[in-house]
Amino acid sequence: MAGSIGWIGYMASLGCWRSGRSAGSFFIAILMSAHHAAAENDSQKTSTGWVITIGGSTEYGPSYPGADRGSLGFIPSFDIRRMDEPADYSAPDDNIDYTLLEFSGVEFGPVAGFRPGRSTSDDRRLNGLQKVDWAIDAGAFLQYWPVEDKVRLRVETRQALWGGEGLLADFAADWFLPVTDKLVLSAGGRASVANGAYMNTNFSVTPAESAANGRVDAFDADGGLKSLGVAVAATYNVSPVWSAQVYYKYDRLLNDAADSPITSVLGSPDQSIIGVSLTRSFEISF
């Protein structure tokens, strides 16, 4: 099961960035506890045990959706699987998930992630526009491996639960190439669809906001295809428990996400992210 927080939509300079540090501290506490338990039970490992993988990514990307200015930040990652369950390949922008059902290459389960926020601390030109708080969202994922361990099709559908509004559906098609026993390359296409509530929150401008800002015209954003893009990554297994990854993702905002003056006047439809991640795995036996 894939369970890492990969790219989660520009959290670099947001409240999510600070929350990520807290979440990272929490996972570090889990890591230490897991390591202690694993050491004590090393001689009693069975298939009923678990493998916990935690870590984090440092990445540079847009400060908010549609921004042309970037920020640097930290994003934690977390994964858990049974000892007798092989580790799946995953993409850097997969959100946290857990596989509940698996049959003939199809996997299904819950997924959760974060959403970016927006404020004048990101860009003073946003003065007068609605502040958007970072948010937690949750939903379900479905993925299928038409070619085992080589080609993966995945969709995540997530609804904002706190701090934001709207529904997102993210589609991905990835190809994984094991170059050596330790090095895996991956590349794939991306598409993102958003409903009206999401688009209105992130890309609409009311007449009052337009007057207060003085730089952008009023704009009413509708739901639909939000972006198309690509993601590439190189993952290197430093040891059986340590893994490092470098990745790059590019999205081109489309339709109302691109036409919004928040993007066309204050920002850019070209959204790029580059990041480096490091993870550590531990075994817990019962």
For the stretch 100-130, pLDDT in tens is 999 998 999 999 988 888 999 999 999 999 9
> Is 222 a member of any domain?
yes
> Is 243 a member of any domain?
yes
> Is 9 a member of any domain?
no
> Is 268 a member of any domain?
yes
Burial class for 100, CB neighbours closer than 10 Å (0-12, 13-18, 19+): exposed
Q: b/e map of 253-271 (b: 16 or more CB within 10 Å)?
A: bbbbbbebbbbbebbbbeb
For the chain, give the percent of residues with pLDDT over 70: 83
> Domain tally for the chain?
1
> Is 2's pLDDT higher than 50?
no
CA 177, 113, 156, 61 dihedral sign is: negative
The range of the structural domain enclosing residue 103 comes to: 15-284
3-state secondary structure of 36: helix
Of 93, 97, 55, which Cα lies nearest the Cα of 77?
55
Res 84: pLDDT: 81
Distance CA 188, CA 146 (A): 14
| pTM for the predicted model, two decimal places | 0.81
Which structure tokens are listed for 116?
């970016």
> Is 223 a member of any domain?
yes
Phi, psi of 183, deg, nearest 5: -110, 130
> Is 2 a member of any domain?
no
> Is 4 a member of any domain?
no
**Cα angle: 30, vertex 31, 34; to 5 degrees:** 80
Res 114: pLDDT: 86
Instruction: Render pLDDT for 52-89 as a digit per residue (tens, 0 to 9).
Output: 999 889 999 999 999 999 999 888 888 888 888 878 89
Task: Pick the more confident residue, 141 or 82.
Answer: 141
Contact 174, 187 (CB under 8 A): yes
DSSP letter at 286 equals -
> Is 163's pLDDT higher than 70?
no
> Is 8 a member of any domain?
no
